[in-house]
């Protein structure tokens, strides 16, 4: 194995049996027909699955819509490019002369694609169990830092943005009930939205959580989720 | 195992170790909070990966864009619902009363979701190797019937539709050269598109294939692919 590939193996924590796979994974389409796009196609589906399962198991209470949003965050180009930058993958890329001149080594989409292509290459080299382990290692801190709150919190913002975009009035939230024991209070919040025939109602352990839940239901009623 | 589940096992060719998984996979959200949406989320990512790999291996010459389109065809709701109908899954569904009355047993989106949820359930029950085998069995005839031509052929149609939608003139194709031996002739076709600064050129073993290839390049130049 040549020197750059040894360095790459150390960074990503995986050493290829078949060097030609990683060479291909690092080759951008600007180099010609033999490039990493097919590996990227394969790797994309693998990272989607691995993250889907990780989220499914980590959040047994999460609804499908929440899991989908969390996954979209995890597998979007920005996140994949971040991973590429952590491994400093840019220096290993094979780019055509045009991309070289225009700074392709640091372009987000190129970096994201390379991460997916490397995942595809690891899968072909060593199978799903190893690819799974690698992906979970690379995502370890990101997955550990995830909370469902981060998703739920977002519903109010999404509702507001949706209504602003469609030129409707902003939603109105109102606490309609507080119940339960002092150490375990629940808040009931109603959410009024101009476009909806009925208010939606959320219940939560804080006013904010209840509002988020009501906003989530309004989004669903609007078909936005 | 109760009778309906035995019948279902025989139809799909898989018998669950954990019956509660298949029960959940058959339960539509209209029945309440404990429903098949999470399994569908998981199963969706699995069928995406399994079909991606099958196409990757079946078509070693295909480009990423072609693989993506073939997969989109394979995993879209209509195809999944077809599989559900082949297994007559409708009769096993658990639906809430509203969906029951409005014919949910035969609704395409519900049927498609159930197929994905069953795949998710098989994966949790027996792991990836078994889920992979099941999916490939279910898709056997569809995958066997696939040809890359089917994708390439489509480029002219897609180009025409794109230009019509954007109110541009239709493309013009012209054979500019025929070369090669009599038993191995090649056609060179140029494709003129109003929006593009340059014509695109396709080469193929028939006029039609050359046109499709030129159309494909025009689509790429338009950023449509």
**Mean pLDDT value across residues A190-200:** 92
Position A72 confidence tier, pLDDT thresholds 50, 70, 90: very high
The whole-angstrom distance between A31's CA and the closest CA on chain B is: 15
pLDDT of residue B105: 82
Phi, psi of B176 (to 5 degrees): -105, -15
Stretch A63-78: mean pLDDT? 92
Where b means 16+ CB within 10 Å and e means fewer, A55-77 reads bbeebeebbbbbbbbbbebbbee
CB atoms B48 and A49 under 8 Å: yes
* A205 pLDDT tier (thresholds 50, 70, 90): confident
Banded pLDDT at A145 (limits 50, 70, 90): confident
Q: Which of B44, B113, B125, B154 is the catalytic position?
A: B44
Report pLDDT for A155: 86
- A48 min Cα distance to partner chain B (Å): 6
According to the CATH classification, is domain A148-221 in 3.30.160.20? yes
What residue in A sits closest to B123 (Cα-Cα)?
Answer: A53
Averaged pLDDT of chain A: 91
* Residue-wise pLDDT tens digits, A89-134: 999 999 998 888 888 888 899 999 999 999 999 999 999 999 999 9
Closest CA to B177 of B144, B145, B210, B136: B210
Question: Higher confidence at residue A224 or residue A176?
Answer: A176
Nearest to B41 among A41, A42, A67 (CB): A67
What are the chain B neighbours of A58 within 8 Å (beta carbons)?
Answer: none
CA distance A28 to chain B (A): 13
Mean per-residue pLDDT, A26-30 = 94
Q: How confident is the model at residue B225 (pLDDT cuts 50, 70, 90)?
A: low
Cα dihedral across residues B14, B18, B21, B22: positive or negative: positive
Cα–Cα distance for residue pair A225/A222, rounded to 1 Å? 8
For B190-210, what is each residue's pLDDT tens digit? Answer: 999 988 999 999 998 888 889
Nearest by Cα to A132 from A47, A189, A199: A47
- Alpha carbon of A66: minimum distance to chain B alpha carbons (Å): 10
Q: Which residues of B touch A44 (CB under 8 A)?
A: 52
Q: What is the pLDDT of residue B38?
A: 97
Contact B38 A63 (CB under 8 A): yes
Residues of A in Cβ contact (< 8 Å) with B53: 42, 45
Check CB contact under 8 Å for B52 and A45: yes
A-chain residue closest to B36, CA distance: A64
Return contacts of A143-149, CB within 8 angstroms, 24+ apart: A143/A54, A143/A55, A143/A58, A143/A74, A146/A55, A146/A58, A146/A70, A148/A59, A148/A61, A148/A62, A148/A66
Using one digit for the tens of pLDDT, what is the confidence trace for B37-86?
A: 999 999 999 999 999 999 999 999 899 988 998 999 899 999 999 999 99
**Structure confidence at residue A86 (pLDDT):** 94
Q: Which of A45, A56, A63 sits opposite B42 (nearest CB)?
A: A56
Residue A172: which of A195, A151, A152 has the closest Cα?
Answer: A195
Q: Which CATH architecture has domain B3-144?
A: Orthogonal Bundle (1.10)
Q: Give the closest-approach CA distance of A45 to chain B in angstroms.
A: 5
pLDDT computed for residue A127 by the predictor: 97
| Best CA proximity match to A135, nearest among A1, A13, A41 | A13
Nearest CA in chain B to A62: B38
Q: Cβ B40–A64 below 8 Å, yes or no?
A: yes
> Catalytic site residue B154?
no
- Which sequence spans correspond to the domains of chain A? 3-144, 148-221
Write the pLDDT tens digit of every residue in B123-177: 999 999 999 999 999 999 999 988 877 666 678 888 988 898 888 899 999 999 9
Distance (Å) of CA A2 to CA A7, A22, A26, A194: 9, 12, 14, 64
The answer to whether the CB of B205 falls within 8 A of the CB of B185 is yes
pLDDT at A109: 93
Among B38, B68, B128, whose Cβ lies nearest the Cβ of A67? Answer: B38
Give the separation between CA A80 and CA B128, rounded to whole angstroms: 24
pLDDT tens digit sequence for B83-126 = 999 999 999 999 998 888 888 888 899 999 999 999 999 999 99
**Which of A29, A43, A52, A61 is the best mutation test for B, with the most CBs of B within 10 A?**
A52
Contact B41 A128 (CB under 8 A): no
Nearest CA in chain A to B70: A41
Q: Which chain B positions have a beta carbon within 8 Å of A40's beta carbon? A: 64
Question: B45 and A42: CB-CB below 8 Å?
Answer: no
**Predicted pLDDT at B152:** 65
């Amino acid at each position: 194995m040549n020197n750059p590939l040894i360095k790459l193996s150390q960074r990503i924590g995986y050493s290829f049996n078949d060097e030609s796979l990683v060479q291909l994974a690092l080759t951008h389409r600007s180099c010609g027909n033999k490039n990493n796009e097919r590996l990227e196609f394969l790797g994309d589906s693998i990272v989607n699955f691995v993250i889907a399962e990780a989220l499914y198991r980590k959040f047994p209470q999460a609804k499908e819509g929440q899991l989908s949003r969390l996954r979209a965050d995890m597998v979007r180009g920005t996140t994949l490019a971040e991973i590429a930058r952590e491994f400093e993958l840019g220096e290993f890329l094979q780019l055509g002369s045009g991309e070289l001149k225009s700074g392709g080594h640091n372009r987000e989409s190129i970096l994201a694609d390379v991460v997916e292509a490397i995942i595809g290459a690891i899968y072909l080299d060593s199978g799903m169990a190893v690819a799974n382990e690698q992906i979970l290692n690379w995502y370890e801190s990101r997955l550990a830092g995830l909370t469902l709150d981060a998703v739920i919190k977002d519903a109010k913002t999404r509702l507001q943005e949706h209504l602003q975009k469609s030129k409707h009035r902003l939603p109105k939230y109102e606490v309609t009930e507080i119940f339960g024991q002092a150490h375990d209070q629940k808040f009931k919040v109603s959410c009024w939205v101009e476009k909806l025939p009925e208010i939606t109602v959320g219940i939560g352990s804080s006013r904010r959580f209840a509002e988020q839940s009501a906003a989530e239901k309004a989004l669903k009623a609007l078909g936005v989720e």
